[in-house]
Structure 1
Amino acid sequence: MKEKIERLKKLTYIPQKEIAWLIEQAEQTVKQQEIIEENKRQQEVTVHQFRQAQKDIQHLSGDRKRYKQALEKIITNLSFAITVAQNELEGDAE
């Protein structure tokens, strides 16, 4: 392709066939540039989605930890309440 471009640069008159080739190359270049730009855009979207997913995971992990701690407190309180109730029942039975 470089050779063909160099040959065209030297011509003062460019034949129709060569002009058609130049137009075709220009169109291909434009299409390739559009594809590259779309790929970059999709990559940016993917990176944004990945970062958002990371934030969501961190947030959910924090929520999970808080829920677990709250549940452990509830279980501890229920265990204590059950023990107190059992002691009262045993005291009433005596």
Structure 2
Amino acid sequence: MKERIERLKKLTYISQNEIAWLIEQAELSVKQQEIIEENKRQQEVTVHQFRQAQKDIQHLSGDRKRYKQALEKIITNLNFAITVAQNELEGDVK
């Protein structure tokens, strides 16, 4: 490709073949740029989705921790209530 460009620079007359090649290269360059731009856009969307997923995971982890703590308190209270009830039953039996 470099050779063709250098040869074109030296020519005063450019053949139809060379013009066609130049146009083809320019069109190819435009298509490649469009592909690059689309890939960048898709990458930005993916990064945004990933960051949103990270936030969702952090939020859900916090919810899980709060639910676990609340459940542990309920279990503790139930165990205490069971112990009290057992003690009352043992007191009634004696």
By the TM > 0.5 criterion, same fold?
yes
What's the CA shift string for 1:31-50, capped at 9, x where partnerless?
11011011111111111111
RMSD of equivalent CA atoms: 1.2
Separation in 2 of the partners of 1:28 and 1:42?
A: 21
- Mapped to 2, the partners of 1:74 and 1:38 lie a distance apart of 53
**1:84: Cα distance to partner?**
1.0
| Runs of 4+ deviating beyond 6 Å | none
Q: Aligned equivalents of 1:63 and 1:38: distance in 2?
A: 37
TM-score calculated relative to the size of structure 1: 0.91
TM-aligned CA deviation for residue 74 of structure 1? 0.3
Structure 1 unaligned runs (5+)?
Answer: none
Query: How far apart are the structure 2 equivalents of 1:12 and 1:56?
Result: 65
Tell me how far 1:3 sits from its aligned partner.
Answer: 2.0
Report Cα offsets for 1:5-53 as digits up to 9, x if no partner.
2222332322111111011101110111011011111111111111111
How far is 1:71 from its partner?
0.5
For these two proteins, the number of residue pairs brought into alignment is: 94
Quote the Cα distance in structure 2 between the aligned partners of 1:5 and 1:30: 18
- Looking at structure 2, the residues matched to 18 and 37 of structure 1 have their Cα atoms a distance apart, in angstroms, of 29
Aligned counterparts of 1:6 and 1:45: Cα–Cα separation in 2: 41
**TM-score, normalised by the number of residues in structure 2:** 0.91
Match of 2:8 in 1: 8
Per the alignment, in what secondary structure is the counterpart of residue 47 of structure 2?
helix
Cα deviation, residue 85, structure 1: 1.0
Task: Quote the sequence identity (%).
Answer: 91
Q: CA deviation at 1:69?
A: 0.4
Structure 2 portions without partners, runs of 5+: none
CA distance in 2 between counterparts of 1:81 and 1:37 reads: 66
Shift of 1:66: 0.5
State the 1:75 CA deviation. 0.2
